[in-house]
Structure 1
């Protein structure tokens, strides 16, 4: 997993918890498999967000997709 992927996953996880959404609930709101978010958040799994997921999560969270990104680039 790259640093940017890890940053975005952790940011969405934090925002999900602030909204009291379970992994299951967010998976269902995305119309994905019930275990999708748990797979994305598990470092041992290969599942990742794509740009369409980020756009839909921004809609669900009522924010901008850019809110998931770091302020500056992350060196590898």
Structure 2
């Protein structure tokens, strides 16, 4: 089944997932921070489901990870 997310969305999700795992944070930790269910974070991290972080959620995550929201974006445009 093809991905329901764009290449850019997949990139952002993967960066956040790697940051989360490197800090030994769970999907539940992220869900608690964002005020959503752990199932929703699972949907975001799934390639097959179109759910995605909002800009406000990305901002909260950047505070949580102590980085810039720009750190979630690639340096160069991504071709789909």
| TM-score class normalised by the smaller sequence | over 0.9
TM-score, reference length from structure 2: 0.88
Q: Kindly report structure 1 stretches of 4+ aligned residues shifted beyond 4 Å.
A: none
Count of residue pairs brought into register by the alignment: 76
TM-score, reference length from structure 1: 0.93
| SS, match of residue 51 in structure 2 | coil
Q: Give a deviation string over 1:30-56, Cα, whole Å, max 9, x none.
A: 111232211100112221111111101
Structure 2 runs not aligned, ≥5 long: none
1:32 matched to 2:73? The reply is no
